[in-house]
């Protein structure tokens, strides 16, 4: 894959720092801290972000890229670099991977992959620090939902994260960039076509206009 197509997540994760001294529960076992009055550990603040992105590819096509919990090539991890504590993807299954010296632990809380969709994968994210962005964060809810739309001709991705961060605004912007780039990379891996409207797809009028993105 060309460097220009590598997800922003790869670039940003290379800046992850090992220091999590502000977090009393260690990240090495996938734990997340207990919350205080605001629901977050001391010095951390609630933050959320959502990315919605539609791809002009069928659900089975998209699933062929994103449907393996331990294959994150579409999110910047080299092939065969992600390990897991289980071969069954059920609540409690964790995946582990290292990017740029950072150790990432994500533990499934919900997982569903029916043939007709939607593909739902929800996990926790153990504490991390991104030195380049001067922000630390962790997530009790980091979700993906990939749903067939346009009578099966397209697929909409929904990335929603609820997290605690030392800088809520910076963390939301960071995760937004990561998830948006991931969604775009899936499209690039499938051929790079862009979505405009369902009607355009019905008319086979796929164009090179930028894909519509809805965020909240």
pLDDT digits (tens, 9 = 90+) for 178-195: 999 999 999 999 999 999
Residue whose pair of structure tokens reads 């948006």 in the numeric block: 180
- Of 141, 136, 104, 97, give the one whose Cα is nearest residue 122: 141
Domains annotated on the chain, with CATH = 3-14+44-215 (3.30.530.20)
Q: Give the dihedral of Cα atoms 36, 40, 44, 45; nearest 10 deg.
A: -110
Q: Give pLDDT, residue 112.
A: 96
Cα 79 → chain centroid = 17
Residue whose pair of structure tokens reads 């922000």 in the numeric block: 135
Give yes or no for residue 204 having a pLDDT over 80.
no
Indicate the helix (H) or strand (E) that contains 130: strand 119-130
| Region 164-176 average pLDDT | 95
* Angstrom distance (rounded) from CA 212 to CA 40: 33
**Local structure of 112: helix, strand or coil:** strand
How does the average pLDDT of the chain come out, rounded?
A: 81
pLDDT over 90, % of the chain: 58
Looking from the CA of 70 toward its CB, the CA atoms found within 13 Å total 15
Q: Give pLDDT, residue 103.
A: 77
pLDDT in tens, 60-105: 999 999 999 999 999 988 888 899 998 899 998 999 987 645 678 9
């Amino acid at each position: 894959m060309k460097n220009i197509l590598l997800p922003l997540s790869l670039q940003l994760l290379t800046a992850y720092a090992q220091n999590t001294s502000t977090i009393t529960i260690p990240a090495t076992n996938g734990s997340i801290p207990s919350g205080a009055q605001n629901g977050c550990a001391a010095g951390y603040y609630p933050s959320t972000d959502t990315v919605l992105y539609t791809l002009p590819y069928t659900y089975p096509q998209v699933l062929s890229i994103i449907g393996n919990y331990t294959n994150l090539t579409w999110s910047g991890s080299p092939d065969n670099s992600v390990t897991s504590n289980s071969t069954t993807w059920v609540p409690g299954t964790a995946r582990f991977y290292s990017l740029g010296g950072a150790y990432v632990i994500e533990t499934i809380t919900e997982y569903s992959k029916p043939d007709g969709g939607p593909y739902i994968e929800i996990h926790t994210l153990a504490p991390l620090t991104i030195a380049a962005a001067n922000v630390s964060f962790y997530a009790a809810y980091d979700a993906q939902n990939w749903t067939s739309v346009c009578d099966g001709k397209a697929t909409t991705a929904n990335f929603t994260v609820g997290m605690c961060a030392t800088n809520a605004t910076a963390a939301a912007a960071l995760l937004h960039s990561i998830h948006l780039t991931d969604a775009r990379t899936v499209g690039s891996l499938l051929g790079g076509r862009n979505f405009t409207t369902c009607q355009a797809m019905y008319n086979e009028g796929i164009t090179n206009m930028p894909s519509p993105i809805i965020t909240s």
